[in-house]
Structures are given as structure tokens and as C-alpha cells.
Amino acid sequence: MKNKKIFVLLPDGVGLRNFAFTQFYDIGIREGLDIVYWNNTVFDLSSLGFKEIRIQNSKLHSFTDFLKNVKIQIGLNQFIKKTNDKVYDTYRFSSSNETIKSKLKSFFTNILIKYFDSEIGLKKISQRIENLERNTLYYKDCMKTLEKERPSFVFCTNQRPVVAIAPLLAAQDLGIPTATFIFSWDNLPKATMIVGVDFYFVWSDFMKKETLFYYPYINENQVLVVGTPQFEPHFDKSLILGRSDFFKKYGLDLDRKYICFSGDDITTSPHDEQYLEDVAHSIESLNKNGHNLGIIFRRCPVDFSNRYCGTLKKYQNIITSINPLWNQNGDSWNTVMPTAEDLKLQVNIIANCEMVVNIASSMVFDFVAFKKPCLYINYNAENKKKDDWSSQTIYNFVHFRSMPHEAAVVWINDSNEIASKIEMMLKDSKITVNHAKEWFKVINKHPPQDASKRIWDSIKTIIS
């Protein structure tokens, strides 16, 4: 292993939490590797003492993003053909047809989907995207960087962004091995494998099977099961403040027990504010019957709406809102940047809450790392607008089929059940937690705190 220089490609900010704010970097350094972040985010990694090369020009070819959307739609079509399962239609986003430009875009998208709607057609679209990106100034700049730096490996932190295509293509064209990390547990059924690389790093054996099923052109030895660094901080005791210090900092009542309500984005849960109100109303009832409970509300980091304001004001004696410490750098979700401070905040919220209540969130795994239960809301809000959204649509998503036992969470099937089920978990949550632990083992390789070490071990094996 002569050349130990590893490029960690950050195409957008979502990879910062896993690969900059955990022990990932320090572990790699201890392994004797020369780590350089190839940084396309606004975050200054040199402020953390990391080596970085900033990407100055990440302008795509004008047709690339258009063809990416075509590729995703064809991919979902192929999944439906393969499985005879219409669930993949629920991953589609309806396009806007309000302007002439958007109407033309939809028109040509539909034509290309119809013409290339096959595995062969999908491959042709991917090849076309690659050819377009090879003709960009961005690709040429990536080539110059790689020719100058000569890393032995390029590791991409996210398989979805189109801006990752050019740097990974440049590396492959120079014979440099490449890999991508599958960012989230729900990504593979969504046809969001935008990049093509030599190796795919996944959370679990379950995700490896998914990868090979959805993308048959990938060979088994290309898929490496490593876990995810996102759960590692939960096992770092140095991040946890004393209870009194945490409560004092956020104005919490030391005599109270707190329930965490973790908010969802507006697409996943468009009526989330109603669910928060239902939970607050239930807590109010429990308190009248002798309990002393409160709610810590953690909104979704990419939700900057004011939709919760009415509920927060109405139940200000019960709900304490502790906002995520993320930085907003644009209007879209992938321009909102996590911070190291928020990672510590999340750990302390979990440590000081009895349980979490939400719609379909992976927070079930964050809480079970602390041996605490999760309650899933599974009913439609009474005053919801007339739309196609349903809680059942969310729980029908493919990634929930990984749940080995439905008792891994407590299902709240009606707002009238909230109080009794919270009370039940306060008395004894052992069975639910044990089932959740089994689910956690299915979805993420254990021990979860060793994910970064496994990633670096895999990279070292590849380059040697």
C-alpha cells in the first residue's frame, strides 16, 4: 500500500454529519491514511483541521439534471416490472406544469421515458449522462485535480447527487478505484443510484440484497457491508451533558419526564402539526391524572415552515421546542448543512427523553441505541386537507418491510390511543425495545459504533 492518499468526495452537505462530524476522520488518520476532503459544500473543513480541496466549478451539462429525472422514472418503471408491485409509483414526485417551460420539460420527459423504458434503455440514458458530463469544464477541472494529487481511492459520501458524476468519472478514466456510500436506509428502492462506481458501501446484509436485486449489473463482490457512521455518536459518552446542565440550558423542568416528538418534512408528513397537537393534548390529559410529563419538540432540520406555531403557542406549558442546529444556505433541502453541535444536541435530547413519537422516522434506531422505545403514528389527521396523502402510504414503503416484528414500535392507530400507549411505555418498554434492537440489527451492521473502522478497513483492503 504505497499510496495512502484517499479523497473523500463531499458532493453536498448531507455527508458532513457522517464523514466530518463523527470520528471517521480521526480513525482514518490512526490507520495511517492521508485523507483529503474533495469539498463541494460551503462548509470550511480546514476549520476542523482537515485537509481539503475545494471544488470551484461544479456546473453540470445543461441536460444532465433533466436526464437524471428520466433515469429515475425509468428505474422505477423497471422495479414495477420486476416485482409487479405498484408501491414504486409512490416514490414519484408530480412535476409542475404551471409554465410553458415546465410543460415542455414534462412533455419531453415522457417521450424519453416511453422510448427508453427498458434495462437496455436505462443503460443508454446512463451512458448519455456520462458522455455529457465528460464534455464539461467541471469534468476537465476534476481531471486536473486528480492528475496533480494522484489519490489511490475516491470515496463518495452520497450516491444521489448529479454533481458527483463528473469527479467519479474522471477518477475512473484515470484508473483510480471509486466507491460510494448508500446514504440512507430507504434510498435503494427509490431508483436514486445516480453514480456508477467500482464499489458500493451499504449499511447491512439487507441493503446488500436490495442493491443486487435492483441493480443486477452490480456484482456481489462490489457491495461491501459496513454499517453507517450516523449512529456512532450515540455510543460516545463524552458527548452527553449532565442532566441538570442540559435542563438548565434549555429551560426544562427537572421534575418532569419528557417525550420527544421528532418532526418530519412536509412531504413525508404534511399534517405533522396536527399530530404534535394530538400528542400535546394527550400529555395534558395524562398530567391531569397524576403524571408530570412534557414534550421536547425537535423539528425536521430541513423544515423551516411556520406550520407548528399555533400548536407551540397553545401548548407552551407542555412543549419545549429545541430546534436543530443546522445552517440554512439555500431554499432546497440539500443546501441545509448539519453541524457538529447539532450532533451533540441530538444525542442529549435522546438521553433525556423517555421515548420518541413520530411518523415513520429512522429515529426509532437512534432511540433504541439508548434502549428507548419509539411510537409510530398510524392514522390520518381528522382535519387534514383533501389530498392523496395517507399514513398508510408511508408505512407501505419498501424499507419498512425490513421490520422483523411489528412490535418493534408501538403503533398509534387513533388519537385516542396516544395517552394509554405512552403510559404503557412509561411502565414497561422492554419487549418493544428488544424487538427494535432486532430491527436495528437487520438494518445496520453491528456493532454500530464500529462503522467508520469497517469503512476504512474495506478501503485499505481495496487499495492494497
Burial class (CB in 10 A: 0-12, 13-18, 19+), 261: buried
Q: What is the pLDDT of residues 282-316, one digit of tens each?
A: 999 999 999 999 999 999 988 888 999 999 999 99
Instruction: Choose the final residue of a domain: 130, 152, 179.
Output: 130
- List helix spans (H) across 289-322: 309-314
Q: Can you give the CATH number for the domain in which 354 is found?
A: 3.40.50.2000
Residues 306 and 413 in one domain: yes
Please tell me which residue, 98 or 410, carries the higher pLDDT value: 410
Residues 237 and 113 in one domain: no
Percentage of the chain beyond pLDDT 90 is: 87
- Place 328 in a pLDDT band, splitting at 50, 70 and 90: confident
Residues 142 and 17 in one domain: yes
Residues 74 and 90 in one domain: yes
Give the per-residue pLDDT at 303: 87
Q: What is the number of structural domains in the chain?
A: 3
Give the per-residue pLDDT at 143: 98
Region of poorest pLDDT, from 65-74, 234-243, 302-311, 424-433: 302-311
Residues 287 and 364 in one domain: yes
Triad 275, 276, 281: Cα angle to 5°: 95
Q: Determine the angle formed by the axes of helices 165-173 and 137-149, rounding to 10 degrees.
A: 50
Residues 301 and 349 in one domain: yes
Give the per-residue pLDDT at 96: 65
Question: Considering only CA atoms, which of 177, 221, 192, 227 is closest in space to residue 207?
Answer: 227
Give the per-residue pLDDT at 103: 85
- Place 329 in a pLDDT band, splitting at 50, 70 and 90: low
Q: What is the pLDDT of residues 72-129, one digit of tens each?
A: 999 999 999 999 999 999 999 876 667 888 888 889 999 999 999 999 999 999 999 9
For residue 101, give its domain range. Answer: 64-130
Give the per-residue pLDDT at 3: 73
Give the per-residue pLDDT at 382: 78
Whether residue 332 has pLDDT greater than 60:
no
Burial class (CB in 10 A: 0-12, 13-18, 19+), 408: buried
Element (H, E) at 295: strand 293-298
Grid cell 423544515 is found at 303
Give the per-residue pLDDT at 336: 74
Residues 53 and 73 in one domain: no
In the predicted model, what is the mean pLDDT of residues 45-67? 95
Give the per-residue pLDDT at 132: 98
Question: Over the chain, what is the mean pLDDT?
Answer: 94
Whether residue 54 has pLDDT greater than 60:
yes
Other beta carbons within 10 Å of 4? 18
Percentage of the chain beyond pLDDT 70 is: 96
Q: What pTM was estimated for this model as a whole?
A: 0.95
Residues 177 and 320 in one domain: no
In the predicted model, what is the mean pLDDT of residues 438-450? 98
Residues 149 and 34 in one domain: yes
Residue 428 Ramachandran class (φ > 0 left, ψ -120 to 50 alpha, else beta): beta
Residues 95 and 210 in one domain: no
Residues 270 and 142 in one domain: no
Give the per-residue pLDDT at 98: 72
In the predicted model, what is the mean pLDDT of residues 257-271? 93
Q: What is the pLDDT of residues 169-183, one digit of tens each?
A: 999 999 999 999 999
- Contact at 8 Å (CB) between 125 and 71? yes
Residues 309 and 261 in one domain: yes
